[in-house]
Structure formats: C-alpha cells, structure tokens
Amino acid sequence: MKLIAIYLIGVIFGVGISISGMANPAKVINFFDIAGIWDPSLIFVMGGALVTTFIGYKLVFGRAAPVFEDSFNVPTSRTIDARLIGGSAIFGIGWGISGFCPGGALPALGTGRWEVFAFTAALVVGIFLAKFAQSLAAPRAQAQT
Amino acid sequence: MIETAFTPWASLAGGVLIGVASTLLMLFAGRVMGATGVLAGAFQPASGQEFAWRAVLLAGMVTGPAVVWLISGEMPAIEVPVSTTALVIGGLIVGVGVTFGSGCTSGHGVCGMARLSPRSIVATVTFMAVTFVTVFIVRHLIGG
C-alpha cells in the first residue's frame, strides 16, 4: 500500500514538473535571463508549489504521525554555515550553466531524451565526488553533527 | 538562445501539482520531497526500506512525461539551449553543490521554504541569486 501511494505521488510530481516547464532548460534559463529574453513562467511554478505545500504541511502537521510511519522525518538542523551557502552557490552556477536542476531532470528522464541522461549521469558523478570529498573530512564533520 | 512562450497557467498548475505531491509524501511517508535526497539515497541507501521508497518514487516521477503524453498527445517540451559540454559540466557542478548544500530547488526551495526553515531560506536565496548572475555572465558577458 505504502509503495503504491509513493509511486502515485511520484507520478503527480512528474506530471507537475512536466507541465510546469521546470524540465525544460530553455524555459529555466530564460527565467533567469531578465536582461535578455525573459520568461517569467517559473515564478508561477515556485509560487504555486510553495503556497500549496505551505498550506498542505500546515494540515499534515496537525496529525500526530504520517499514515504509514510512526513519526515525521524532517530535517532538523538549523545551522547556517559556509557549507550550506557555498554548496547552494555552487548549485546555482551549475543550474545556470546547464538549465537543469535535479527535480527537473529526474522526471524528464521519462521523455527518453539523451540530453537528460547526459546531465543526470554527470549529476550522479558530482554527488559521489562530493560525498567522497566529505568522507575524507569525515572525522571532523561527524564530530560537528 | 531559444525563445520560450510565457505559460502562467500551465506553470501554476504544474506548481500546484508539485505542492500536492510534496504534501502527500509528508502525509503518507513523513518525508520531504527533495530530488537530491531521493536520488542520492537511492544510490547509497542506509537499508532496503530506505532504498525501496526512493526507487518507487523515482519510478513514479519518470512515468510523469508518459502520463502527460497520454492526456495531451504531446511529450513535454525539452529544449536544450546549451552545448553537451555545458550539460555535463553543469551536471557535475550541480551534483557537488546540492550535496554540500544539502538540497536543491525541490528540497530547499519548496519543502524547506514551506516549513519556513532558516537554512532553506538562505539556501534558496543563495542559489537563485547565483543562478541569475551565472546566466547573466554566460549570456551577456561571455556571450554564449
């Protein structure tokens, strides 16, 4: 039951990303190109997703626990450090260069377009390079967390 | 450069569906809808159960374009205005960034912002600002 529900949630997310334009690098880059051929559509994606999730979470967190789990499993860290800001800045550089973000690219794999697979393969390599770099610094990082 | 049409209604509808999916994942599984965490966790799961829900969620996401095709008769448009080199280098950079930054547009920008998480607000403002600057440099200063 749980896995069927999660599959359908993935489908809803994939349909949402597909019709929103987040999976289309031309649209994403044009959103960020205010000085050029600006396409403001993505404001509506972010706004629609944020307002819906904000209201949805308010309702969901009124419950004691999720339907299929004993407790909610949400990130609790409140530390704002160089790693968070630097990592987010690096992500912004890559997003601006390629036009794909992970949430846009994963559903777009379903179109079968080779460009999406090229980006996603590089994305996975990047994630593991970073995890490897983090593991080298692991003793210090673990002491911090 | 590829010009794109302004699509406020389709984008709003897509955004609402992204929000519905994020809400339902929290309701049923108690998890944040973060593409970075789902992808990284599927490749390096802590346990079989941790792998299963992520793999199933990914399978659902990948089905999305086919569902759009069944309903509308058209696959979602994917227009790539950059070179393959830019896609691959961009992908590597995104992978490194989202790992150190602990999230991306879906995790920080939607789910974290919706919880008013200070970390996610800082992360989102940072990556949005840097992406604006990056696109400006690539398109208008370098002239790509």
ipTM over 0.90: yes
- Whether B83 has its CB under 8 Å from any CB of chain A: the answer is no
Nearest-CA distance from B113 to chain A in Å? 7
* Residue B79 confidence class, pLDDT cut points 50, 70, 90: very high
**B80-107 residue pLDDT tens:** 999 999 999 999 999 999 999 999 999 9
Q: Is there a contact between A85 and B126 (Cβ–Cβ < 8 Å)?
A: yes
**Strand, coil or helix: B18:** helix
- Are the C-beta atoms of residues B28 and A6 closer than 8 Å to each other? yes
The per-residue DSSP string of B49-114 comes to HHHHHHHHHHHHHHHHHHHHHHHHSSPPP----S-HHHHHHHHHHHHHHHHHTT--IIIIIIIIHH
pLDDT(A143) > 60: no
Mean pLDDT along residues B17-38:
96
The answer to whether the CB atoms of B63 and A53 lie below 8 A apart is: no
Instruction: State whether A10 and B110 contact (CB < 8 Å).
Output: no
Residues of A in contact with B96 (CB under 8 A): 87, 90, 94, 126-127, 129-130
Residue B139's identity, in one-letter code, is R
How many Å apart are CA A21 and CA A8, to the nearest integer?
20
At B142, is the pLDDT very low, low, confident or very high (cuts 50, 70, 90)? confident
